[in-house]
């Protein structure tokens, strides 16, 4: 009898709360998260270009950092010269890991060289290198790949490579 009373009490309390349930209780679904992907607007006076210097024999890399990574300088120089010839003043490196257009702040060849040299020091993972071979780094299998976007004007908040300065900085390596 006691058990029957207990069950009845539970059922009645459940029934009493049914009225509080919103009518669409079972139809409400968690909304899907809004995708924050931004459509990239490419202005008329910019241009995207891949620059690749693939000369494994000439790729000098010494872990001590004493040797100059000439191939890296050559690639940046080639990118800068192309930009200058086509009337641009700035460029952004746009590989995902070092994408200036996403706010990556290094915009100077000498500093980028220093950044690349962090590899192998302690736990550092210099993202200049393509560890996963997915095309997101600059140095892939001892070759240098550079995807750049050129600009005629600076973009506020974005640190772009100055073409004239990059040419001056890279020339001395070869």
Nearer to another protein, 72 or 160 (CB): 160
Q: Report the distance separating Cα 50 and Cα 57, nearest Å.
A: 21
Residue from the set 71, 75, 78, 149 that interacts with another protein by CB under 8 A: 149
Please choose, from the candidates 148, 149, 45, 50, the residue with its C-alpha nearest in 3D space to the C-alpha of residue 87.
45
| Assigned token pair, 150 | 């050129």
53 vs 116 by CB, closer to another protein: 116
Q: Binders of another protein among 63-92, rule CB under 8 A?
A: 92
State the DSSP code for 158. Answer: -
Instruction: Answer yes or no whether residue 111 interacts with another protein by CB under 8 A.
Output: yes
Q: Which stretch binds another protein (CB under 8 A): 4-12, 58-66, 138-146, 148-156?
A: 148-156
Q: Is 32 left (phi over 0), alpha (psi -120 to 50) or beta?
A: beta
Q: Are 174 and 70 in contact (CB under 8 A)?
A: yes
Q: What is the DSSP letter of 104?
A: -
Rule CB under 8 A: choose which of 47, 155, 167, 173 binds another protein. 155
The pair of structure tokens assigned to 40 is 């990239």
Distance CA 147, CA 50 (A): 4
The 20-59 contact track toward another protein, x by CB under 8 A, reads ----------------x-x-xxxxxxx-------------
User: Nearest approach, Cβ of 164 to another protein (angstroms)?
Assistant: 9
DSSP single-letter state for residue 94: -
Stretch that binds another protein, among 27-35, 50-58, 78-86, 111-119 (CB under 8 A): 111-119
Count of residues of this chain found to bind another protein when the rule CB under 8 A is applied: 46
**How far apart are CB 22 and another protein at their closest, in Å?**
31
The correct pick among 61, 82, 159, 173 for binding another protein (CB under 8 A) is 159
Task: Give the span between the Cα atoms of 135 and 88, in whole angstroms.
Answer: 25
């Amino acid at each position: 009898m006691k058990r029957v009373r207990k069950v009845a009490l539970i059922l009645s309390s459940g029934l009493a709360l049914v009225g509080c349930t919103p009518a669409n209780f079972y139809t409400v679904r968690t909304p899907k998260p809004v995708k924050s992907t931004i459509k990239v607007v490419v202005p008329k006076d910019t241009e995207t270009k891949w620059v690749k210097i693939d000369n494994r024999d000439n790729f000098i890399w010494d872990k001590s950092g004493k040797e100059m990574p000439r191939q890296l300088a050559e690639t940046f120089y080639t990118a800068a010269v192309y930009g200058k010839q086509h009337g641009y003043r700035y460029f952004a490196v746009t590989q995902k890991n070092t994408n200036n257009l996403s706010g990556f702040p290094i915009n100077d060849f000498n500093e980028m060289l220093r950044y690349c040299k962090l590899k192998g020091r302690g736990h550092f993972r210099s993202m200049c290198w393509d560890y996963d071979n997915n095309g997101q780094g600059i140095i892939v299998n001892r070759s240098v790949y550079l995807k750049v976007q050129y600009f005629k004007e600076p973009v506020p908040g974005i640190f772009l490579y100055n073409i004239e300065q990059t040419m001056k900085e890279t020339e001395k390596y070869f």
